[in-house]
Amino acid sequence: MTVERIGRLWTTLEGVHPAFGSEAFRQLVRYVAAGLGVTLFSVLVYSAAATLLHVRPLLANSLSWICGVGVGYAVHSRWSFAADKDKGEGVMVVRFLMASGFALALNSFWVWVATGLLHLPPLAPVPAMMFVTPLASFLLNRYWVFEAA
């Protein structure tokens, strides 16, 4: 898709509803695109560790978080939210780590419920890990970590 086509798509969307032309909507689209890649990467790390290496699911989840957090900060701070580094990158890094820790806790909750309480297979929590947690993370990143940059 060319830059010109993307511009026409934005113009068309703005005609449908003004919210589609907002910076928040653009950030959401960028976050979804980048986040999908980061989330898929993390889920692949979790899945490989849990199923191929037979690592316990909660440990596999922690490993996937460690692998994804650095990539996630780089992508989201530079592209998804195009954060203003002059406002203090150190603060953003700390907040991002805290928001990512929340995402880890939320994913650990899904893993614990699915594999621990319900005794489901290791891949059972993946849908919640791919859809519910990223939505909560977007809201934290937009309104707290990068302060609606």
Whether residue 18 lies inside any domain: the answer is: no
Cβ within 8 Å of residue 95, ≥6 positions away: 144, 145
pLDDT of 78 strictly over 90: no
* 13, 29 contact by CB (below 8 A): no
Average pLDDT over residues 21-31: 81
Q: Supply the range of the domain harboring residue 132.
A: 28-145
pLDDT of 84 strictly over 90: no
pLDDT of 10 strictly over 60: no
Whether residue 104 lies inside any domain: the answer is: yes
Whether residue 109 lies inside any domain: the answer is: yes
Number of domains within the chain: 1
With a pLDDT cut of 70, the percent of the chain lying above it is: 81
Whether residue 50 lies inside any domain: the answer is: yes
Whether residue 33 lies inside any domain: the answer is: yes
Whether residue 129 lies inside any domain: the answer is: yes
pLDDT of 16 strictly over 60: no
Whether residue 126 lies inside any domain: the answer is: yes
Whether residue 12 lies inside any domain: the answer is: no
pLDDT of residue 136: 92
Q: Average per-residue pLDDT in the chain?
A: 84
What HEC string does 111-138 produce? Answer: HHHHHHHCCCCCCCCHHHHHHHHHHHHH
pLDDT of residue 35: 83
